[in-house]
A and B are shown apart, each in its own frame.
Chain A
């Protein structure tokens, strides 16, 4: 695949390096000429100097034949415009933007960016998972608006000591697994939920609160 990475900071640099090692064709666009030269010294001639939001730079980078454009600068407005120009002007099939301010994640999707990566949310998420005895943890977002969550059943949960068939889950949600101590249980309708169980469920992200109220 031909992948253009805009932004040669730490994220862009390691991303380019990783994609190269995976055998992809990679071109990195970096605004600062010294930084671009530094990258070229270390990982070979992959970086060009320029502003990724400028159509001329994207054209010089061969954007019309790029499969993916990834914008990972430190500025959200730049990442947004890089993706929009790549998409609108060069018809790049897939655009991926780093979102520095988590508030912008939704906006970017509305504005046509295919995939957003919010490192702030990601780190928050990892920290959340590492805090012991959290009753409800969002494990993963995927497919635009889906989520995998982990809900811990307590003695007070409405679902404790009840079989899965008796539980009225919100529509289009599924209990996919139950972690009970060291055991992983693939549930069937008769499986009884016990206090201390970790319920692994798949749901739409806007149903997470509803699930939390039901299961925890």
Chain B
């Protein structure tokens, strides 16, 4: 499989490293060349400096024959715009877009983007832990009283 990843932050670099390790072709785009230092030692994929909302930059990263495009920069709007370019202009089969703002995530999911919202996901996990711990304690208290 060939994947293009936009944004080489912690998440982008990790996904890139994992995909590369498991034998996929990977190219990573970031506006800041220093971001590529986050890639693991021995990373065999390509790095492209530029912004992923520019079609020429996406072409340089090999989007035309990519199977997947993953938008994980820190900017919701940048991720949204690049994902729509990948899907509609380059017809990439699998496009995943990270959107921090839950309302925007909802809007674009309805428009057909595959979205991941860390805000709702992480909140749900944290709440689940906290509530479960609390109810366990309650149960213990009830049991001993």
Contact = CB atoms under 8 A, between A and B. Distances in A.
Interface of A: 53-56, 75-78, 80-81, 84-85, 88-89, 101, 103-104, 107, 110-111
A81, A103, A107 pick with most chain B CB within 10 angstroms: A81
B101 A80 contact: no
A103 B111 CA distance: 23
A85 B85 CA distance: 17
A63 to B, nearest CB: 13
A77 B80 contact: yes
Contacts of A77: 53, 75, 77-78, 80-82
A81 B88 CA distance: 16
Contacts of A88: 107, 110-111
Contacts of B77: 53, 75, 77-78, 80-81
Interface string B41-61: 000000000000111100000
Contacts of A54: 101, 103-104
Contacts of B111: 84, 88
Nearest to A53: B77
A interface, by DSSP: helix, strand, loop or mixed?
helix
28 contacts: A53-B76, A53-B101, A54-B104, A55-B101, A55-B103, A55-B104, A55-B107, A56-B103, A76-B53, A76-B81, A77-B75, A77-B77, A77-B81, A77-B82, A80-B80, A81-B104, A84-B111, A85-B104, A88-B110, A88-B111, A89-B107, A103-B54, A104-B53, A107-B84, A107-B85, A107-B89, A110-B88, A111-B88
A84 B75 CA distance: 16
A111 B85 CA distance: 9
Contacts of B81: 76-77, 80-81
Nearest to A59: B103
Given A53-B77, A77-B81, A85 B53 contact: no
A54, A84, A101 pick with most chain B CB within 10 angstroms: A84
A93 to B, nearest CB: 18
B104 A53 contact: yes
A56 B53 CA distance: 25
Contacts of B89: 107, 110
Contacts of A103: 54-56
8 shortest interchain CB distances as A-B pairs: A77-B77, A55-B103, A77-B81, A81-B77, A77-B78, A78-B77, A80-B81, A89-B107
